[in-house]
Structure 1
Amino acid sequence: MTPAAVVLVAACTIGVSTLVWGVAALCRLLAEGRVQEGLLSPSMYYRRNEVAVLIAAHNEELVIADAVAAALRLVPAGNVFVVSDGSTDATVERARAEGAAAWDLTPNRGKAGAIRAGLERFGIPSRFPLLLLLDADSRPRPDYLRTALPLFTDEGVVAVAGRATTATDTRTTRMGRFLLAYRERTYVCTQYLHKFGQAARGADAVAIVPGFASLYRTDVLDRIDIDAPGLSIEDFNMTFEVHAKRLGRIAFHPECAIAETQDPAVFRDYSAQVRRWSLGFWQTVRRHGVRPGLFWVAVGVFALETVVSSLALVAILPVLVVATGAAAVAPLLTGEAGEALSALSAATPVGPIVLGFVIVDAVMTAFACAISRERPRVWMLLFPLMRVWDAVLCLRALGAALGRPSDGRWRSPDRRAVPPAAEPAVSSPR
């Protein structure tokens, strides 16, 4: 029972998909070797002036100027477009003041509707071969296009998934720093241990081209149902559409197309965002159903694994409390009651459960710190509690996805003003 408990809890903590795609990522790394300097040279097919940047924003006056400024460091003036989706603040004014072409869309349609409307309003597909979808709280690094465009030298590639990293240049509370560190760990583990392997040429199983900062070839956009009804977010569905309609490959490399994003530093906003992301995933799975192919098998396995592991993670804390209580009370009782509690305590090994849960989670933290070159901190041992909360949010989202459809309209998290002197760091190949 003890070894089985350790293995079960460890599997629920790290996930079977993580093991499979982590191995695939290692094989890809060994096959490709380190990033070659040639990969960082400009693409022979596209140039920076051929890239349009479209930002859909809703009440983003605190961050929109920073996003526009970052975009203008990548592309010429006139290539950056902002759709203010029913904003009631100064989003439009600040975007225009920074140099973007901005449009006030009313009434608001949600992010997906704003993207679709922006494409038509500014005539982007007919004017530019590439589109960078950028969130208002995101900031592409200066080498974003220098590293991303070469991925399009493969003519089969129709999208390049951006790599997310948490922006840390704004002031926040201790709780905020905890949430940002946990989110950065999630980004590192997901992108290095899942997406890098999924993007291997023989797999082509990337599950999401994140809408925070990713590139699409515009000649496929008219075949993607961007603003499909009933979905809370658009990026899962757009990715599934690429696979379902066999439009081409999705490229990803963790050293390319990097952008910093302002993640929630308030627990309420963090919870709302995770629930929204989870809801979008389940809604998209429900919309597309089951199809033949490696991608769909991978999604099905991941979905099943997510439900099972979430149920297990949600049950961990109550089980530990009951087992610990039974072990403490059993010696104080005699007769059948004491025997029953002793049997319960023996059947629920607290030590192995904690070992399988905490130790494996700590290994993930150590991996993320090594990749990010951050010093591990003692309070990171509390990350398992966040895993449990994520599982609760995931299961709640699954229930919601089976109910009423979403209208796609949004409420942005509380934003933090970016210091005027803040400049994004340039990433260096590892």
Structure 2
Amino acid sequence: MNHARRAPDAAPVRVAVLVASKDGSATIGATVRSAVAQADVFVVSDGSSDATATVARAEGAQVLELGENIGKPAAIHHALATLRLAERYDAIAILDDDTTIAPDFIARAVAQLDDGVAIVVGRTSTRWTDENRWNVWLGARAYAYWRYQATLRRGQSALGVMNCISGSNSVFRASVLAQVVVEQTPYIVDDTYWTLETHRRKLGRIVYAPDAHAWVCDPLNLRDWYRQNLRWIWGMYQGIAGHRVGRHWTRFDATFVLLILDWCAYVLGAPLALGLVIWLGWFSLHLVLFYAVGYIAWTGLAAIATRKWRIAVMTPAIVVIDVIYRVVFIHALVKTIREPRVTTCRWVSPVRY
């Protein structure tokens, strides 16, 4: 059994890594390899029709095979119960089957897992390979990850009001995971449910560990990018409605309401700016320059921080994708009104690479 330490004088922490995978043979090997030296790795093959189980075993994981696809949260729930992971381990890292973690990911995350902490969220970066170096969808996602984590996630972590976790690379106190994981989450995004349940039940703080680094496969094309973002935002809206966010007198609710207002300003800002351009006419160039300088400044900072200079070169594409993202927010709202809850949490993952 693998152990990690929180501090030189702390007792060893028994850590497991749990991965639910559906037809993930292309990437599960790298995921297991990155984790197997740090913790005991368990893979749930969720009705896979490919060699997911074989590849995972070959890399050193213990594999639980399911005869049919039941969805990620149900697969994780089944594994926790069948393998008694919450009883055998102190902490459990949930990884996606296309996630690779740094050699010190578990140690860095566990170092933050003190008595008041329920979940530690790692730093997510896009797996930006040379063959896809000029893919604008990866560039936009790399920029989005950096900006979100450098600003909002750090601030929310400091205040103890994190509204979402990374379902691809987060470490849970085992006793907390056992309480928040249910067989079927009512939202299309399982980690949204887990996050909100942690806050509502007052199970502990959720903190961000920027030194615990993980890389994920992100969409390579418009279709996959749109579907993934739509699912994420739809799930967040479902959580806001289902957990009645804003109807409780807590700091978490207050800051979440402020975030919702920020989303409204973000979505409405573009059409309002366009209206000003049309209305003001002669002053339109100044407004365009104002927006351009803002985007260039942000993408420039992202390029410096990530050492990915092509992010700055992709600024025009990032601007266009940012406009499409606003459409996703509206589409997700319509889906939430039509379907505020789901009966099964299953989806099609983007193409892995």
What residue in structure 1 maps to residue 163 of structure 2?
Answer: 207
Give 1:204 deviation, angstroms: 0.4
Q: Does 1:294 align with 2:251?
A: yes
Letter aligned with residue 280 of structure 1? G
What residue in structure 1 maps to residue 132 of structure 2?
Answer: 172
User: Within 2, Cα distance between the matches of 1:231 and 1:365?
Assistant: 33
User: Within 1, Cα distance between the matches of 2:301 and 2:182?
Assistant: 35
Give 1:225 deviation, angstroms: 4.5
User: Within 2, Cα distance between the matches of 1:217 and 1:211?
Assistant: 14
Query: Cα deviation per residue 1:141-187 (whole Å; 9 max; x = unaligned)?
Result: 001123222112x311111011101112363374xx22112111111
Structure 1 contact 231–284 (Cα < 8 Å) conserved:
yes
What residue in structure 2 maps to residue 131 of structure 1?
Answer: 92
% identical equivalent positions: 29
Query: Cα deviation per residue 1:207-240 (whole Å; 9 max; x = unaligned)?
Result: 1121101100011223214445431111122111
Give 1:189 deviation, angstroms: 0.9
Structure 1 contact 42–149 (Cα < 8 Å) conserved:
no
After TM superposition, what 4+ stretches of structure 1 lie above 6 angstroms from structure 2? Answer: none
Structure 2 contact 139–314 (Cα < 8 Å) conserved:
no
Q: Residue 26 of structure 2: which of 54, 62, 66 is its match?
A: 62
Q: Give the secondary structure class of the aligned counterpart of 1:165.
A: strand
Is the alpha carbon distance of 1:90 and 1:186 closer, same or farther for their aligned partners in structure 2, counting shifts above 3 Å? same
User: Within 1, Cα distance between the matches of 2:304 and 2:161?
Assistant: 26
Q: Does 1:413 align with 2:347?
A: no
Is the alpha carbon distance of 1:227 and 1:73 closer, same or farther for their aligned partners in structure 2, counting shifts above 3 Å? same
Q: Give the secondary structure class of the aligned counterpart of 1:252.
A: strand
Q: Does 1:403 align with 2:334?
A: no
Q: Does 1:183 align with 2:118?
A: no
Give 1:349 deviation, angstroms: 4.0
What residue in structure 2 maps to residue 159 of structure 1?
Answer: 119
Q: Does 1:73 align with 2:34?
A: no
Question: Where does 1:103-122 land on structure 2 (aligned, <5 Å)?
Answer: 103-122=64-83
Structure 1 contact 156–248 (Cα < 8 Å) conserved:
yes
Give 1:357 deviation, angstroms: 2.5
State the aligned residue count.
344
Which shifted more, 208-217 or 90-99?
Answer: 90-99
RMSD of Structure 2 on Structure 1 (CA): 2.2
- By relative contact order (CA 8 Å, sep 6+), the higher-ranking structure is 1
User: Within 2, Cα distance between the matches of 1:186 and 1:292?
Assistant: 31
Q: Does 1:275 align with 2:230?
A: yes
User: Within 2, Cα distance between the matches of 1:389 and 1:46?
Assistant: 49
User: Within 2, Cα distance between the matches of 1:41 and 1:240?
Assistant: 26
User: Within 1, Cα distance between the matches of 2:89 and 2:193?
Assistant: 23
Give 1:191 deviation, angstroms: 0.7
Is the alpha carbon distance of 1:46 and 1:365 closer, same or farther for their aligned partners in structure 2, counting shifts above 3 Å? farther
User: Within 2, Cα distance between the matches of 1:43 and 1:390?
Assistant: 45
Structure 2: state its 5+ residue gaps: none
Give 1:260 deviation, angstroms: 0.9
What residue in structure 2 maps to residue 146 of structure 1?
Answer: 107
Q: Give the secondary structure class of the aligned counterpart of 1:257.
A: strand
TM-score normalised by L of structure 1: 0.75
Give 1:253 deviation, angstroms: 3.1
Letter aligned with residue 257 of structure 1? A
Q: Give the secondary structure class of the aligned counterpart of 2:16.
A: strand
Q: Give the secondary structure class of the aligned counterpart of 1:161.
A: strand
Which is richer in strand?
2
